Amino acid sequence: MSDATEPTADGLVTDICADLLRIDTSNYGDSSGPGERKAAEHVAGLLTDAGLSPELIESERGRASVVARWAGEDPARDALLLHGHLDVVPAEASDWAVHPFSGEVVDGELWGRGAVDMKDMDAMVLANVLAMSRAGRKPPRDIVLAFLADEEAGGMKGARHLVENRRELFDGVTEAVSEVGGFSVEVAGNRAYLLQVAEKGLLWLRLTATGRPGHGSQVHDANAVTRLAAAVGRIGAHRWPMALPASVTAFAEGYAALSGSALPIDDVQALEAELGTTARWIRATTQNTSTPTVLQAGYKHNVVPARASALVDCRFLPGDRDHVMRTVHQLAGEGIEIEVVHEDRALETTADGSLVDAMTAALQAEDPGSAVLPYCLSGGTDNKHFDRLGIRGFGFAPLRLPSGFDFASLFHGTDERVPVSSLEFGARTLGRFIRTC
Ligand SMILES: [Zn+2]
């Protein structure tokens, strides 16, 4: 397979990924972490080795992203964006069996925070850029490579910063490929790869109740805590009806065609029996959610405070933003002020066109007989920011996973790791995709 003088992407990917895992890029949601600068410099070095001219861009000190344009055979064609984030969510080393920043291979698995989210994909991209450039090959069209800061805190200091301040970097780009898609699941004994074509939107709300402050010993009919608690209770207990966006219907249809039976979409246990922990992701895309997460009120046991507030994490299906907002207002009732702390859009595209064909063909060439199913992601990715530039985004970070491998739990979980064979598969598959995109 591999020639001694010419490294292949699958031969390079594990070392590249391990090196990235050893650089702590924990994102605590503010700027108290180490930042992405060190990782960005490392990536820029690799891109320079591959003959590219990367630019390192800081949104603030230490919060660095790297962007490079990889010239293709036909610069007249629309360009493709391949992007990955460099930051990771924090990891508590004492909870892990292997140190989260060691980048160690144990029993055929590469361990570390970011092993599946998403230094694996960063490494697959870099391995292919290096292998192709050393072989003197170009991609068929221009590819913009972006390694981004701050995705885990919403991307304001990474992708969004670039979209708002450096949009010329993405001139001519019409499509993007990034994370949380392209991994395999077992469906009725067949291997299926989930291609991400949609993302739920998010709406982070602060609810505030005001009332009359006073002494806790007295009869009180305008208590902010009571009013807020009732509103939060209604919002948290609300049963959102099932509503399938087109991407989820497409997933259910693909599942039915593959398994010969209907997807048990309204039965949590049956869904988990069919899809393992991936069922949690699928289930969250069959309805809107409104989840209270933080309560703040009061400062002394016998004092009624003047105000009480709560934070609610709402996630809406494509097209449902206004409906969710209206419903939350109705559930909250009188006397509750609702403020949007942060929101981001839902995305949905269709699983068709030449880019989807190239992703599908690459997977099926590396794993003959496998199926490819479109799906909707219950969380969000940096594709939301690039959508602002009219760029159509997909999740395709290919991984063939051993059956029973609990992929969904590893995202932001302890003991995050990726099988080396999966990484190598991903590098080969992504390489096929890049050469045919
Ligand atoms: Zn991620």
117 CA to centre of ligand 1 in angstroms: 4
CA–centroid distance, 393 to ligand 1, in Å, is: 14
CA of 411 to the centre of ligand 1 (A): 8
Ligand 1 center from residue 82 Cα (angstroms):
14
- Grouping H, G, I as helix, E, B as strand and the rest as coil, residue 223 is coil
Q: Round to whole Å and give the CA distance between 88 and 36.
A: 9
Element (H, E) at 155: none
Q: How far is the CA of 151 from the centre of ligand 1 (A)?
A: 7
Q: Ligand 1: distance of its center to the CA of 317 in Å? A: 20
CA of 339 to the centre of ligand 1 (A): 27
From the CA of 254, how far away is ligand 1's center (Å)? 25
Distance 208 CA to ligand 1 centre (A): 32
Half-sphere exposure of 167 (CA within 13 A, CB side): 10
Q: pTM of this prediction? A: 0.93
| Span 55-88, pLDDT tens digits | 999 999 999 999 999 999 999 999 999 999 999 9
Q: What is the mean pLDDT of the chain?
A: 95
| Residues 428 and 123 sit within 8 Å (Cβ to Cβ) | no
**358 alpha carbon to ligand 1 midpoint, in Å?**
23
Please give the pLDDT value at position 4: 53
Residue 311 token pair: 């934070």
Ligand 1 centroid to Cα of residue 248, in Å, is: 21
pLDDT at 196: 97
Do residues 301 and 216 touch, judged by C-beta distance below 8 A?
Answer: yes
Ligand 1 centre distance from Cα of residue 380 (Å): 8
What is the pLDDT, as a whole number, of residue 278?
A: 87
| CA of 388 relative to ligand 1 center, distance in Å | 19
Ligand 1 mean position, distance from CA 219 (Å) = 51
Q: Is the CA virtual torsion 131, 75, 349, 151 positive or negative?
A: positive
| 226 Cα: distance to centroid of ligand 1 (angstroms) | 38
Taking the centre of ligand 1 as the mean of its atom positions, its distance from the CA of residue 118, in whole angstroms, is 5
Kind and range of the H or E run holding 168? none
Q: What is the CA radius of gyration of the chain?
A: 23
Omega prior to 118 cis, within 30 of 0: yes
d(CA 217, ligand 1 centre) in Å: 50
Q: Residue 336 C-alpha to ligand 1 middle, in angstroms? A: 34
Q: Report the separation in Å between the CA atom of 421 and the middle of ligand 1, taken as the mean of its atom positions.
A: 21
Q: How far is the CA of 192 from the centre of ligand 1 (A)?
A: 21
The pLDDT, as a whole number, for residue 5 is 64
Burial class for 322, CB neighbours closer than 10 Å (0-12, 13-18, 19+):
exposed
116 Cα–ligand 1 center, Å: 8
Q: What pLDDT score does 2 carry?
A: 46
What separation, in Å, do the N-terminal and C-terminal C-alpha atoms of the chain show? 23
Q: Which tokens sit at 251?
A: 């997933």
Per-residue pLDDT 10s for the chain (437 aa) are 444 567 899 999 999 999 999 999 999 999 899 999 999 999 999 999 999 999 999 999 999 999 999 999 999 999 999 999 999 999 999 999 999 999 999 999 999 999 999 999 999 999 999 999 999 999 999 999 999 999 999 999 999 999 999 999 999 999 999 999 999 999 888 999 999 999 999 999 999 999 999 999 999 889 999 999 999 999 999 999 999 999 999 999 999 999 999 999 888 889 988 888 889 889 999 999 999 999 999 999 999 999 999 999 999 999 999 999 999 999 999 999 999 999 999 999 999 999 999 999 999 999 999 999 999 999 999 999 999 999 999 999 999 999 888 888 898 999 999 999 999 999 999 999 999 99
